[in-house]
Amino acid sequence: MSTETFEFQVEARQLLQLMIHSVYSNKDVFLRELVSNASDALDKLRLAKLRDDTLDADVSDPHIELETDPDARTLTVRDNGIGMSYDEVGELIGTIANSGTAQFLKELKEAQDAEEEGLIGQFGVGFYSGFMVADEVTLLTRKAGEKQGTRWSSRGEGTYTLERVDDAPQGTSVVLHLKPADPDNQLHDYTAVWKLKEIVKRYSDFITWPIRLVGEKGDDGKAAEPETLNSMKALWARPRDEVSEDEYHELYKHIGHDWREPLETIQLHAEGTFEYQALLFVPSHAPHDLFRQNMRHGLQLYVKRVFIMDDCEALLPSYLRFVKGVVDAQDLSLNVSREILQQDRHIRMMQRRLTKKVLSSVKSMMTRDADKYATFWREFGAVLKEGLVTDPDNRDALLAVASFASTHEDGDAVTLKQYVERLPEGQDDIYYITGESREAIDNSPHMEAFRERGIEVLLLTDPVDEVWVDAVGEFEGKRLRSVAKGEIDLDAREDDKSEDEQKQQAEAYAGLLGWMRERLDDDVKEVRLSTRLTRSPACLVADADDLTPALENMYRAMGQEVPHSKRVLELNPDHALVKGLNEAYTEREDRSELADTAELLYALAVVAEGGRPKDPARFVRLTADRLERTL
């Protein structure tokens, strides 16, 4: 059979270089990765056979085998799992399909000193980690049900070879041609039996398939009985005090495809008529695809210790899609399909219970460990807030663990409860402002009067914020109110205008306001004097039940038709520009000039809230024209 040579995809090559130049201080983990892949392959084979009884595959003794040859200096990791086809080997091993890894490479390039910052060692690199300990890796595989196998081989230097083989056993074996041991650099002798035992015990003990060490041949030429190295005990079924944190973390790394420790481990044993155990993990970092439509998520589902499926989405609501873990149920059918799961009464019951458990864990994290909670909320707060809209049953629990940036906090966040507790006498509303970033918000004209009076305003910058505030409406009897919506009726202060003064002002401006409303009819439904502006000449506000521009854009982005909602233009009667405009309006007969100025004033209000004038070129022309006259 002919051997063909291929080049690694660019990212794959970069990753290999990292491996070869040994960026991980702890090289032992290569074995964890290979065993993890082998275990997945056995799971997949079992499922494939379950789905298709006629599949021509041997499933009588699924296992993982380690075999060493100290003379040839090789270590072989073998499984009789699903295997890979010729095309799959090229696709899966020659490229980096895992976008998390691509992201890792990007971060690595951006980091000054990746090693120092501990970036490396945070990402799983799977199969390639073999190149940390080997200068050549050969993989022989045959896919279950296929006749022909494939041999893949590489020295990790930019190319690999592929060859079709006729006599490959079903499954996959990976042969590592080991580098010379170099204990100073944590490169151990991986043909040493004690070392392999130690690594398996440490990283892979919970793997549900036997990991056997194939005995060396004795003097009589016969191999000793293979020894099983792992206990295969399901961690989730063991009492918590018998399992070390380390053991939990290794399980997390296996199922979460993450090399970092989880932030939180959550265990649940449900007894009664429907028994199940769950072991859940909150990762310490949000995955990069958390907000992508096709993000893979969900828990692993086991039935009586037997793996049934990955990514079982029905077990948790979508706003907890970052949670990883295992659920092992006693009384589900082994043949459950995804379709059935969605409607299954027991699954729904489990979902409810697991959701409550996660939320109560976050709650206790909040009181127990403020730093940990802060990390949690930074990474996952934006997702959790989706639940405020989609899960009314748990709304209170969600509100209890939600926190927000505020004008009255520097770096810390405040909960609604804290906000309400420190409400000054007479204030009945919880004020918030939405926007793209804290900077944009801080300088928003809508904030002026609030800042001046020292009123606390929550600063909401996640896209979902626009939605949940409407859905939730109030907290402990206090209304949630946008500073950019409706008429603001702040408490009177000493230097405020008297009622008489206000009345006079209203009369003085009545003509201008009416005239401007007509001029700006396309975009504005009302022009009125503002109580919220102190420094800016104008701002735009929505009516309490109007869509905000951000929401409008969001719906349009989702392909929904939404009418352009007109807003209210508020003018600051104490601003020189507005005063001048009013004088000119009362004095002049010809108002064509003024019409342009009115239009500009509107455009300035749009720009001030981060928007874009409708006709930017015209906006610039009008502005330039007026600037010129000041010179």
Q: Which residues in this chain contact ligand ADP in the complex, by CB under 6 A? A: 33, 37-38, 41, 79, 81-84, 92-93, 98, 124, 126-127, 172, 257
**Shortest separation between residue 79's beta carbon and ligand ADP, angstroms:** 5
Tell me if residue 378 falls in helix, strand or coil: helix
Contact (CB, 8 A) for 75 and 67: yes
Single out the residue of 19, 12, 23 nearest to residue 159, CA to CA. Answer: 12
| Helix runs in 435-571, H state only | 438-442, 448-453, 465-472, 499-519, 549-557
Which residue lies nearer to ligand ADP by CB, 105 or 365? 105
**Shortest separation between residue 227's beta carbon and ligand ADP, angstroms:** 21
Q: How does DSSP assign 64-132, residue by residue? A: EEEEEETTTTEEEEEE-SS---HHHHHHHHHS---HHHHHHHHHHHHSSSTTTTT-TTSS--GGGGGGG
**Shortest separation between residue 36's beta carbon and ligand ADP, angstroms:** 7
Which residue lies nearer to ligand ADP by CB, 107 or 574? 107
Question: In this structure, which amino acid lies at residue 581?
Answer: L
**Shortest separation between residue 538's beta carbon and ligand ADP, angstroms:** 55
Which residue lies nearer to ligand ADP by CB, 172 or 191? 172
**Shortest separation between residue 109's beta carbon and ligand ADP, angstroms:** 20
**Shortest separation between residue 83's beta carbon and ligand ADP, angstroms:** 6
Contact (CB, 8 A) for 277 and 350: no
Question: In this structure, which amino acid lies at residue 286?
Answer: A
Which residue lies nearer to ligand ADP by CB, 81 or 149? 81
Residues whose CB is less than 8 angstroms from the CB of residue 56 and which lie 6 or more positions away in sequence, other chains included:
144, 145
Which residue lies nearer to ligand ADP by CB, 83 or 298? 83
**Shortest separation between residue 127's beta carbon and ligand ADP, angstroms:** 4
Which residue lies nearer to ligand ADP by CB, 127 or 322? 127
**Shortest separation between residue 93's beta carbon and ligand ADP, angstroms:** 6
Please state, in angstroms and rounded to a whole number, the distance separating the CA atoms of residues 12 and 95.
6
**Shortest separation between residue 106's beta carbon and ligand ADP, angstroms:** 17
Cα 620 off chain centre by? 40
Which residue lies nearer to ligand ADP by CB, 37 or 548? 37
Q: Which residue has the tokens 């504005």?
A: 524
Residues whose CB is less than 8 angstroms from the CB of residue 391 and which lie 6 or more positions away in sequence, other chains included:
317, 319, 355, 398
* Distance set, CA 5 to CA 93, 94, 151, 160 (Å): 14, 11, 12, 6
How buried is residue 526: exposed, middle or buried, by Cβ count under 10 Å (0-12/13-18/19+)? middle
Which residue lies nearer to ligand ADP by CB, 98 or 228? 98
**Shortest separation between residue 349's beta carbon and ligand ADP, angstroms:** 32
Tell me if residue 215 falls in helix, strand or coil: coil
Which residue lies nearer to ligand ADP by CB, 41 or 398? 41
Query: 28-43 burial by CB neighbour count: b if 16+ within 10 A, else e?
Result: bbbbbbbbbbbbbbbb
Which residue lies nearer to ligand ADP by CB, 129 or 265? 129
- Partners of residue 539 on adjacent β-strands: 570
**Shortest separation between residue 311's beta carbon and ligand ADP, angstroms:** 13
What is the chain's Cα-based Rg? 32
Number of residue whose CB is nearest ligand ADP: 126
- Other Cβ atoms less than 10 A from the Cβ of 66: the count is 25
Please state, in angstroms and rounded to a whole number, the distance separating the CA atoms of residues 152 and 4.
10
**Shortest separation between residue 485's beta carbon and ligand ADP, angstroms:** 47
* Distance set, CA 328 to CA 87, 100, 246, 501, 569 (Å): 34, 28, 21, 72, 59
> To which H or E segment does residue 567 belong?
strand 567-571
Which residue lies nearer to ligand ADP by CB, 33 or 609? 33
Q: How does DSSP assign 278-307, residue by residue? A: EEEEE-SS--TTTTSTT----EEEEETTEE
**Shortest separation between residue 124's beta carbon and ligand ADP, angstroms:** 6
Which residue lies nearer to ligand ADP by CB, 12 or 315? 12
Please state, in angstroms and rounded to a whole number, the distance separating the CA atoms of residues 94 and 552.
44
Which residue lies nearer to ligand ADP by CB, 83 or 287? 83
